Amino acid sequence: MAEQVAVPRHIAIVMDGNGRWASRRFLPRIAGHKQGVDALKRIVKACASRHVPVLTVFAFSSENWNRPAEEVSGLMDILALALAREVSQLQRDGVQLHFVGDREALSARVRKGLEDAEVATAGNSLLTLNVCFNYGGRWDIASAAARLAAAGTPITEESLSGALALAHCADPDLVIRTGGEKRLSNFLLWQAAYSELCFSDVLWPDFDEAALDAALQEYASRERRFGQTSQQIAESTETRR
């Protein structure tokens, strides 16, 4: 049974609102995504300084291929550029990078960049940063189940959990979605079963330490019951004291 903890051991974020941030400034949508990279750098540092050990972000969904071709290729370029520019700093900051999602559809250049970044940061342990790219929760569950079936492994909650793309991490304690919408959009469908959900109206490029702290405060005020009653939770807290 998971337990209530004051600082989440794993925060997952749907970084929404880049397009609106750009439109409000009469800029192309891609300018919002570029600004989104700066917000991500800020939040990685903020999570590390708050002793959050795992951060997972949704950077490109399986459904984002349906966006205009210019925006899709712009997002690929942003990923390649971010890898080229940021990996050495992430390395110095003790961040271990993982890319989660279907790499088949990505170009050889992008795939090589992802692999190199993972190898370069594999020895780091301050913060694990999972970047979900060409990721969808349904894709994750279906491909894990297909792998288990092909290997003749019985499908149970344990075997499926262990075959998912985030098997190297505990499930997220807190899922934040920025940009005002209130849905999961195919993000971590299995892993978010007991996560606390926090929705912020702040557009992702404006998401800063204060906005993160507001979400952390909201999280700390929630009672996580994991199917139990309030009384049971109070009693087990008492017993642990």
Catalytic residues: 16, 64
Amino acid at 11: I
Position among 11, 13, 17, 164 found at the interface with ligand FPP (CB under 6 A): 17
Q: Which is nearer to ligand FPP, 75 or 164 (CB)?
A: 75
Cα 165 to Cα 145, 171, 172, 190, distances in angstroms = 12, 11, 13, 11
Nearest-angstrom CA–CA distance, 170 and 144? 17
144: contact with ligand FPP by CB under 6 A: no
Site string for ligand FPP, 29-48 (x = CB under 6 A): ----x--xx--x--------
Smallest gap from residue 168 Cβ to ligand FPP (A): 19
Size of the site for ligand FPP (CB under 6 A): 18
Least distance (Å) between residue 4 CB and ligand FPP: 30
Q: State which of residues 11, 13, 18, 106 lies at the interface with ligand FPP (CB under 6 A).
A: 18
Per CB under 6 A, which of residues 147..206 are in contact with ligand FPP?
179, 204
CB of 71 to ligand FPP, least distance (A): 8
Complex with ligand FPP: residue 131 or 144, whichever CB lies closer: 131
Residues that bind ligand FPP (CB under 6 A): 15-20, 33, 36-37, 40, 59, 64, 78-79, 82, 131, 179, 204
